Structure formats: C-alpha cells, structure tokens
Amino acid sequence: METLAKILAAAMPICFGVSWPFSIVRSWRARTAQGKSPIFLGFLIVGYICGILATVIGGTFTWIQYLYIADLVMVLIDFSIYLRNRKLDRERKASGK
C-alpha cells in the first residue's frame, strides 16, 4: 500500500509536468494574452510555493517535491510569457493593428 501511495503522490506532479510544456509552447506561439488567466496562474504559483514550503517546514521533503519545484518553474515561465504577450497585445492595440 505504501508503494501505491508513493506512486500516486508522484503521478500528479508528473502529469502536470508533462502538461505545462504544451501550455508554454502554445502561449509562446500565440503571441497574445487572450485566453490566459493571470489569476489562475497566480493561484497555481502560490499553491506550489505553499506546498513546497509546507514540506520543507514539516521536514517531509522528498524527491517528489523536486517535481513540484519543476512544475513551479514551468508555471513561472508560462506567467512570464503571459506578461510578454500582454505587452504585445498593448503594442498591437496602440498601433491600430
């Protein structure tokens, strides 16, 4: 049972970790912030940070938290692309395109 619990605990950040690169590439290629929610991304960032800090403070940090850290980095990348795309949207609007 303990092995199954470890597998399931790792499955969530692995699935998210496989998904985020697709979101990053889509955001980069889209060159628009439309359809992205900065509030959603912000909550994800805060949630990952809270989860990671909880394991560090609680002394339960395991290799699985490295997956959460990798996922957090990808969300931060996606958020930075959102900021770039928002700037591009404003530039397009200002130029009338």
What pLDDT shows up at residue 61? 87
50 vs 72: CA distance, rounded Å:
11
pLDDT in tens, 5-43: 888 888 989 999 999 999 999 999 999 999 999 999 999
Q: In degrees rounded to 5, what are phi and psi of residue 43?
A: -65, -40
Condensed to tens digits (0 to 9), the pLDDT of residues 58-74 reads 998 888 899 999 999 99
pTM given for the model: 0.90
